[in-house]
Amino acid sequence: MADSNKSSLEGAERAAVFMMSLGEDAAAEVMRHMGPKEVQRIGSAMASMERISRTDVNAVLKEFSTHVQEQTSLGVGADDYVRSVLQSALGDEKAGGLIDRILLGRNSKGIDALKWMDPRAIADMLRNEHPQIVAIVLSHLDADQASETMVYLPSRVQADIVMRIATLDGIQPSALQELDEILDRQLSGNSASQTSMVGGLKTAANIMNLMDGSREAEIMETIKDNDADLSGRIEELMFVFENLIDIDDRGIQTLMREISTESLVLALKGADDELKDKIFRNMSKRAAEMLREDLEAKGPVRVSEVEGAQKEILAVARRLAENGEIVLGGQGGEAML
C-alpha cells in the first residue's frame, strides 16, 4: 500500500509544487538564490504541470515540514540542517548548486554570470577571441553548457580549444585580468592573488563526453593527429555509454534507481546485446520483462534521441561516481570520475 505521506513526484516536480505553493513573491525570492540550471529545471517542471492532486501537494508540504522539524533540534549543525532541508525540497541533484552557493559563499558574479547565458550567445561573444581565452572561459562552464557552446564555434578551432583545455592547470591573476577585459561587463574583477584551478584532462574529457558523436570523433581525430599522447590521455578519462558494462552489479542497480524507464528504453535502443543483458540481470524478473516489452514495442527513433538519453544516463552515472556511490570503469581501466 502506498504511503500517503510520501509524494510520488520526482525531485524537480516536488520542488515545483513547493514553489507554486509558496506564492509568486516568496517563490521568486527563493529562485533568486538559485543557479541557472536549478531555475531552468524547476521552471520547466512548473510549466509542464497541468493537474496536481491535493494529495501530492499535501504530501510535498508535509515532507518538507517534517524534515524541517526533524532537523531543527538542538545539536544539529547549521550546515547539515541547510543541506538536509534543501535536499528534501529539491532532491540531491537539484540542490547541489544551491547548497554550494550557500555553504561555500558562491554567488552569480564574474564568470559565473556566463552560466545564465545561452550557449549560442557565449559562442558569438568568443568567436573572434584567441583560442586560449576561449579555453579558459569554457573551462569555467559546466561540461554540458561548454559542449553546447563548442558546437557554435568554428569547427577549425574546436580541436585546438579542447587541447588547450586539457593542458590547462591554472590561471594566473594576469590571465583573469585579460579575461575580465574581454568579457567586459559580463565579468567582475578578480583581485585574488591565488591561482584559479580550471581546465585539465578531466574537464576536456567531460566536455567531449557531451559532444555529438560524429563531432566528438572528428575533434578527437584532429587532436590525435597533433598530439597522440594527449589524445590518449583524454580518451582514458572519457566515459561512453558502452562503458556501463564495466560497472559492477551493485553499481548498475544503484544507477537504475536514479533513471526513468523512458530514458532507459531510448538509451538501450542503441546498446549492444551484452549491455542489455547486464541491465536485465540487475532488475527484478517482472521489471526486466516489462523493459523487454517496452523495447520491442518502441518504434524507430532518431539517433539524436538515443544519444540524448544515453548522455542523460551518463550524467547520472558521473554524479553517482563523484559522490562515491558507484565506480566507473572507463576505457583506461577502473577510475573514479
pLDDT in tens, 266-309: 999 888 889 999 999 999 999 899 999 988 888 888 888 888 88
Tell which wins on pLDDT, 239 or 293: 293
Q: Is the dihedral of CA 95, 8, 56, 313 positive or negative?
A: positive
pTM of the model: 0.41
Span 172-199, mean pLDDT?
54
For domain 110-237, the CATH architecture is Orthogonal Bundle (1.10)
Span 156-175, mean pLDDT?
83
- Residues 11 and 4: their CA atoms lie apart, in Å, by 17
Q: What would the DSSP string read from start to end of 95-137?
A: HHHHHHHHHH---S-GGGGGGGS-HHHHHHHHTTS-HHHHHHH
- Domain residue spans of the chain: 11-104, 110-237, 241-335
Is 1.10.220.30 the CATH number for 241-335?
A: yes
Strand, helix or coil for residue 328: strand
What is the residue whose three cell numbers read 547539515?
80
* Three cell numbers written together for 150: 563548442
Amino acid at 245: I
Span 306-330, mean pLDDT?
81
pLDDT at 330 over 50: no
Which neighbouring-strand residues pair with 171?
196
- Residues 281 and 273: their CA atoms lie apart, in Å, by 12
* pLDDT at residue 75 in the model: 45
* pLDDT at residue 279 in the model: 92
Amino acid at 146: A
